[in-house]
Amino acid sequence: MILSRRSTTLFVISLAMLAPLGCGKKGPPLAPFVRVPSPMTDLVIQRIGDTVWVGFSLPTQNQDGTQPADLERVDIYAMTVQPHIPADRMLELEEFQDDATLVTSIEVAPPPAMAAEEPVEPDAPDLRPLQGFPIAFSEVMTAALLVPVDPWEEERRRRERDEAREKEEDGSKEPVKVPLMTPPLPGPLERRYAVVGVSGEGHESESVMRIAVPLVTPPHAPPAPVVTYDEEVATIVWELPVGVRRSVQITAAPGAVSGVGTVTQPTPVTAPAAASPAVGAPVVGALPPPPGTSPVVPEPVSVTPPPPVPPPPPLASTPIVDWPPASRYDLFEIVEADEGSLVMPRPLNLLPLPDPTYPDKRVEFGVERCFAVVTLDVVSELDVRSDFSAPTCVTFLDTFAPVAPTGLNAVGSEGAVSLSWEPNEEEDLAGYLVLRGVAPGETLLPLTAEPVRESTYRDSTAVPGVRYVYTVQAVDDAVPPNISLASETFDATAR
């Protein structure tokens, strides 16, 4: 279709008139889009002796779910405080930062796509951690770090003044009578930490909860552990440390009533039978038998004593002192960390150990492992661990011989003797030694220089008519090899 010049002109005018109608009213400018990194994950803290360890994993995304995370560095703040009763409120992050000390800043490497845009010096390795990697930080407790700060001092004074004013206003009222008791005492000093992620534009993110350790004298470390092992399990045991906490109430034995005494079932007791008196002998306390009759001998009597009275149950009571739980333990494998990297110490046990023993199923022959143990106590609901015990190192050596073969059978034939036995099932089995000697009494000697792999053997060196004694031993591939006990012997003669 071809439009005329007049139609084209009208069409253009119409578009010009409709154009203003398509534009809405200009609104206020939108706020700039802000990306904030997600908080650190796997946040954990533990105090071992006088060293505090903080561990976490770097986030890989922002709080809005976008990836990678806009994370330039991680700042760790710490402050020492004296807890109060009632507990002080949790400080906002900015308030915490104002009174805390910035103990370290950890630069984070950019994602690979962004790292390509950064200028890099030739042959200069980038030691910054990547997103998603675990991070460890340690701080040694010194005398200077034991001085507390009090960000809530002014708030507490204001609250005390308000409470005193309210008491003055209510002075006409009769005071409330309360039982006389010792006021609760505040807990020990605490070292509190805040782990903060910082974006490239300076936006900060923090985990919901902050972490803390008590600043008390740590418990004593146990003695060096003792390691024994077999082919599958290494058993690590240690003696109790000095000053160990024990359970207040010992677990009751089966049949015990609330841990106080025990209840025993009555056992019928048969009175010993009296010796039968001789015929005609008098019975003490009995009438004399009539003339010409035998005396009556009493039958043994079964006597069941009354059941013992069980001890009374414990009286109903309410604890007035929170007794701390018993000491527990963590077992660590001591390994050498790579130079320049710090690794968070993590125990082999998933949960604290209530008893001084641990089975480790990671027995690998030829591998050395070093073990150390710490004592774990709970103070004000916070964990505190002792220093590491002296380490015990052991190299697992295969000194365990295979089991002796069974089912040996020998059959003589023309110029030879054929032997067979049940195969062993050891994974490290190298083969078998077949031993032979002339019957009777000759020393049995191996027939081959190397172990045979199969559970059969044909002795073609047997002299016809000579009776031989055979036995078999299993050999593993250890260095030096372990040789089992000899199997049962079997006699055979070649024809």
Instruction: Identify the burial level of 10 via C-beta atoms within 10 angstroms of its C-beta, where 0-12 means exposed, 13-18 middle and 19 or more buried.
Output: exposed
Predicted confidence at residue 313, as pLDDT, reads 73
Predicted local confidence at residue 118, as pLDDT? 59
Question: Is residue 262 classed as helix, strand or coil in its secondary structure?
Answer: strand
How confident is the model over 132-181, as pLDDT tens digits? 999 999 999 999 999 999 999 999 899 888 888 887 777 656 666 666 66
- Residue 410 pLDDT class (50, 70, 90 cuts): very high
302, part of any domain: no
Question: How many separate domains does the chain show?
Answer: 3
Q: Indicate whether 268 belongs to any domain.
A: no
User: Do 195 and 234 lie in a common domain?
Assistant: no
- pLDDT tens string 251-290: 444 544 444 333 344 444 444 444 444 444 444 444 455 5
More confident of the two residues 169 and 249: 169
456 band by pLDDT with thresholds 50, 70 and 90 = very high
Q: Tell whether 80 and 189 lie within a shared domain.
A: yes
pLDDT grade for 295, boundaries at 50, 70 and 90: low
CATH number at residue 449: 2.60.40.10
Give the CA angle between residues 59, 64, 65 to the nearest 5°.
55
Both tokens of 125, joined, read 């390795």
- At 305, is the pLDDT very low, low, confident or very high (cuts 50, 70, 90)? confident
Q: Higher confidence at residue 317 or residue 8? A: 317
- Asked if 55 and 128 sit in the same domain, the reply is yes
CA distance 74 to 60: 13
Asked if residue 209 and residue 85 are part of one domain, the reply reads yes
125 vs 236, more confident: 236
Distance of alpha carbon 206 from alpha carbon 92, whole angstroms: 10
In the listed set 361, 395, 429, which residue is the last one of a domain according to the structure? 395
pLDDT of residue 167: 78
The answer to whether residue 306 sits within a structural domain is: no
Beta strands in 286-327 (DSSP E): 302-303
In this predicted structure, the answer to whether residue 332 has a pLDDT above a threshold of 50 is yes
pLDDT on residue 27: 59
Q: Are 83 and 190 in contact (CB under 8 A)?
A: yes
What Cα–Cα distance (Å) separates residue 65 from each residue in 35, 37, 69, 204?
Answer: 10, 9, 9, 16
Q: What is the pLDDT of residue 317?
A: 65
Same domain for 125 and 210: yes
Asked whether 194 and 77 are in contact (CB, 8 A), the reply is yes
Q: Same structural domain for residues 419 and 480? A: yes
Query: In this structure, what token pair is assigned to residue 216?
Result: 């008390």
The span from the CA of 375 to the CA of 245, in Å, is: 10
pLDDT at residue 91, rounded to an integer: 93
Strand boundaries in 63-151, DSSP class E: 73-81, 101-107, 134-140
Which of residues 343, 363, 395 is at a domain's end? Answer: 395
| Residues 74, 118 within the same domain | yes
Is 85 domain-assigned?
yes
Asked if residue 415 and residue 354 are part of one domain, the reply reads: no
195 plus 50 within the same structural domain: yes
Closest to 346 (Cα-Cα) out of 95, 134, 148, 67: 134
Burial of 468 (0-12, 13-18, 19+ CB in 10 A): buried
Residue 331 domain-assigned (yes or no): yes
pLDDT in tens, 422-438: 999 999 999 999 999 99
28 vs 491 pLDDT, higher one: 491
Question: Is 236 contained in some domain?
Answer: yes
H or E element: which one contains 445?
A: strand 445-446
Host domain of residue 230: 226-240+324-395
Residues 206 and 122 in one domain: yes
Q: Is residue 52 part of a domain?
A: yes
Residue 3 clears pLDDT 60, i.e. is over it: no
- 235 with 191, same domain: the answer is no
269-270 and 302-303 strand pairing: antiparallel
Query: Given 338, 367, 395, which residue is the final one in a domain?
Result: 395
Specify if 391 maps to a domain: yes
For residues 357-380, average pLDDT? 95
Q: Are both 207 and 343 inside the same structural domain?
A: no
More confident residue, 348 or 324: 348
> Cα 139 to chain center, whole Å?
23
For residues 189 and 148, the answer to whether their CB atoms sit within 8 Å is: yes
Q: Name the most confidently modeled range: 15-19, 206-210, 487-491.
A: 487-491
Angle at 219 between CA 216 and CA 224, to 5 degrees: 150
Cis, peptide link before residue 68, omega less than 30° from 0: yes
